[in-house]
Chain A
């Protein structure tokens, strides 16, 4: 199931530059770091790159299925490894991931600072996925926003597609509150004695 969703998540990531999941947001960040700009070009001028990713997913799925059929018993035993033994390799790999971005020690310090921020945000019950999306999509959003503003001023806000998107965004923003209110009203009506 985990493998199956990656192919579907790749479609909006490559076609529109909108990550379909948290892992695709990380992949999108990697694209931007390496100079690959997702969007319609991925389906026209860079179609070879897109197909290489599609085939990579196909081949990896075949390899995964074959590997699982052959070694499923041994792989299942990995779940019994104590968590404490996994901590050093994970910390080392995470640190190397941060370090190899620019090969500077400062990136390790940044990793710790963002780790502390992530911990505080989690304790403060602020979801981190929107922050990740903002970091990944922020640059292209700012560029396109300025282009739109330069060409049309604020009149681009009156275009139908923009209005529809704004309505969707505002609905998504306030829906949790409305749903909670509705739940509370339903609960109150159920608890009221006849």
Chain B
């Protein structure tokens, strides 16, 4: 048996870390809204106080998962197998590096919109993503970019009259 198969599985510390962040956020929120007027604090406190208790309990469960390294058998407040978790199935099978790449490209598109405006950013983003990231041939990248431009300019700008902000550069 090779060394690779003997290695222990990595610790599942992500859920505990996220639960801790949520707990800290809600504790700060509850402490902050204590001195608000009645109408402003009534609903947030009614939601916030039970949530702090539940988030604390969830954190304890997650920490127990980390300690025991047995993530499948533990009871949890979240109904992972039956609850409607939006778009989680796809994320689970995508490598973390690819997830960061996807977010970076999304950020690049928003930066492009900020600097060049919507229409140039659409062309630049489509071309750059398809040619450099997806390794598609240049003619296909240009075709998709042109179709996207026609769709956005024709439908959103001309027919629906959505005003596009000008970019910083042009």
Chain A residues at the B interface, C-beta cutoff of 8 Å: 21-22, 82, 84-85, 87-89, 91-92, 95-96, 99-100, 103-105, 108-109, 111-112, 115-116, 118-129, 132, 141-142, 145-146, 149, 173-178, 180-181, 184, 187
Contact assessment for A92 and B125 in the assembled complex, using a CB-CB cutoff below 8 Å = yes
A177 in contact with B148 given A87-B134, A100-B156, A108-B110 (CB within 8 Å): no
B88 touches A122 (CB 8 A): yes
- Determine the chain A residues whose CB is within 8 A of the CB of B85 once the complex forms: 122, 127-129
B91 CB contact (under 8 Å) in A82, A92, A122: A122
Contact for B106 among A21, A82, A115, A187, CB less than 8 A: A115
Please tell me if the beta carbons of A85 and B39 are within 8 angstroms of each other in the complex: no
Instruction: Give the shortest distance, in Å, between A111 (CB) and chain B (any CB).
Output: 8
Q: Which of B43, B91, B125, B163 contacts A146 (CB 8 A)?
A: B43
- Output the least CB separation between B144 and chain A (Å): 6
- Contacting pair B106 A85 (CB below 8 A): no
- Closest Cβ of chain A to B115, distance in Å, is 11
Give every chain A residue within 8 A of B30 (Cβ-Cβ): none
Contact residues in B for A87 (Cβ distance below 8 Å): 105, 129, 134
Report yes or no: B113 in contact with A105, Cβ–Cβ below 8 A. yes
Residue ID in chain A nearest B133 by CB atoms: A84
- Within the complex, the shortest CB–CB distance from B159 to chain A, in Å, comes to 13
Minimal Cβ-Cβ distance residue in A for B18:
A124
**16 CB-based A-B contacts, threshold 8 Å:** A84-B133, A87-B105, A88-B130, A100-B162, A103-B162, A108-B110, A112-B110, A115-B103, A122-B91, A123-B15, A124-B17, A132-B86, A176-B79, A176-B82, A178-B75, A184-B73
10 more contacts with CB within 8 A, not counting A125-B14, A177-B76, are: A92-B122, A95-B113, A105-B114, A112-B107, A118-B87, A125-B80, A127-B84, A127-B85, A145-B43, A173-B77
Tell whether, in the assembled complex, residue A84 and residue B136 are in contact, meaning their CB atoms are under 8 Å apart: yes
B90 to chain A, nearest CB (A): 9
Among candidates B14, B54, B134, B140, residue contacting A123 with C-beta atoms closer than 8 Å: B14
Q: Is the CB of A88 within 8 A of B126?
A: yes
Decide yes or no: A180 and B74 within 8 Å by CB, A92-B148, A119-B103, A121-B18 being known contacts.
yes
Q: How far is the CB of B10 from chain A (nearest CB, A)?
A: 13
Measured CB to CB, the nearest residue on chain A to B57 is A177
Which 8 A-B residue pairings sit nearest by Cβ, starting from the closest? A124-B18, A84-B134, A180-B75, A88-B126, A142-B43, A177-B75, A176-B79, A129-B84
User: In the complex, are the beta carbons of A181 and B103 less than 8 A apart?
Assistant: no
Cβ contact within 8 Å between B19 and A124: yes
Best-surrounded residue of B18, B103, B147, B151 (most CB of chain A within 10 A) = B18
Closest beta carbon of chain B to A29's beta carbon, Å: 14
How far is B143's CA from A89's CA once the two chains are assembled, in angstroms?
A: 12
User: Which residues of chain A are within 8 angstroms of B14 by Cβ–Cβ distance?
Assistant: 123-125
Chain A residue with minimal CB distance to B73? A184
Nearest-CB distance from A135 to chain B (Å)?
12
Per the bound structure, the CA–CA distance linking A115 and B19 in Å amounts to 18
With A and B bound together, what is the CA distance between A173 and B76 in angstroms?
10
- Kindly state the separation between the CA atoms of A107 and B61 in the bound complex, as whole angstroms: 36
Verify if B46 is at the interface (C-beta below 8 Å from A): yes
- Specify the chain A residue showing the minimal Cβ separation from B80: A125
- Alpha-carbon distance between A25 and B54 when the two chains are bound, in angstroms: 24
Contact call A105/B134, Cβ cutoff below 8 A: no
Give Cα A124–Cα B78 distance, bound, in whole angstroms.
Answer: 11
